[in-house]
Chain A
Amino acid sequence: EAGVAQSPRYKIIEKRQSVAFWCNPISGHATLYWYQQILGQGPKLLIQFQNNGVVDDSQLPKDRFSAERLKGVDSTLKIQPAKLEDSAVYLCASSVRGGRKEYFGAGTRLSVL
């Protein structure tokens, strides 16, 4: 069974630039999550999708972050414009449905200079 795929693995940008991350969840998983993990901390949920609908985005900085999951499969997370404090690892995870066992991708490490 293929795992959660994410790209790119690494990204370096300057502040005020834009960046986008892509995630392909495990086939058949209805729920998709985007997390932000700052160095030395546990992952923090940014947004949760159930199929192609958002079920929670209370911790997403909506003035600069956006995410979509068209067709209920792949998802993209965008930051525009990036700030220095956005430097972190962005993790995508999926589960069969909300509240069940979550499987994580390898993450995208973002450095904002």
Chain B
Amino acid sequence: GIQVEQSPPDLILQEGANSTLRCNFSDSVNNLQWFHQNPWGQLINLFYIPSGTKQNGRLSATTVATERYSLLYISSSQTTDSGVYFCAVPALMNSGYSTLTFGKGTMLLVSP
């Protein structure tokens, strides 16, 4: 099946710093989703980004589908950005439907 690799696995930032998280995938995909899992376990969908660049406040994401990677940028980080960031890509199952395959995540800690 499709492989999803995220880097770095862990990241510690001082509040106000910028960061870039990377997601590589092993096969061509028609969409990619970025999620933030907060310390209480809630998964929030940040971006649905098949290709190109999208921005939402201090966060932006870029997917280069032809080169099989996506980047998540966090600018002016805040303590509330702490948590685990997952990327997920669809994998076509035998049923003909697509299901999401998640990477192992990047754990981010933003200290005040």
Q: Is this pair of chains taken from one and the same complex?
A: yes
| Of the residues B42, B93, B95, B99, contact of A104 by C-beta under 8 Å | B42
- Kindly list chain A residues whose C-beta atoms are within 8 Å of the C-beta of B40: 106
User: Once A and B bind, how many residue pairs between them come within 8 Å at the CB atom?
Assistant: 60
Interface size on A, residues (CB 8 A): 25
- Kindly list chain B residues whose C-beta atoms are within 8 Å of the C-beta of A41: 104-105
Asked if B95 and A56 sit within 8 Å, CB to CB, the answer is: yes
Asked if A99 and B88 sit within 8 Å, CB to CB, the answer is: no
- Kindly list chain A residues whose C-beta atoms are within 8 Å of the C-beta of B93: 56, 58
- The verdict on A98 contacting B98 (CB below 8 Å), with A41-B104, A42-B104, A56-B93 known, is yes
Asked if B43 and A55 sit within 8 Å, CB to CB, the answer is: no
- Kindly list chain A residues whose C-beta atoms are within 8 Å of the C-beta of B97: 48, 50, 55-56, 98-99
Q: Mark B22-65, 1 if CB is under 8 A from A, else 0.
A: 00000000110101000011111100100000000000000000
Let me know if A43 is at the binding interface, CB within 8 A.
Answer: yes
Q: Distance (Å) between the CB of B103 and the closest chain A CB? A: 6
Which residues in B have some Cβ–Cβ distance to A below 8 Å? Answer: 30-31, 33, 35, 40-45, 48, 86, 88, 90, 93-95, 97-100, 102-105
Which residues in A have some Cβ–Cβ distance to B below 8 Å? Answer: 33, 40-45, 48, 50, 55-56, 58, 89, 91, 93, 98-104, 106-107, 109
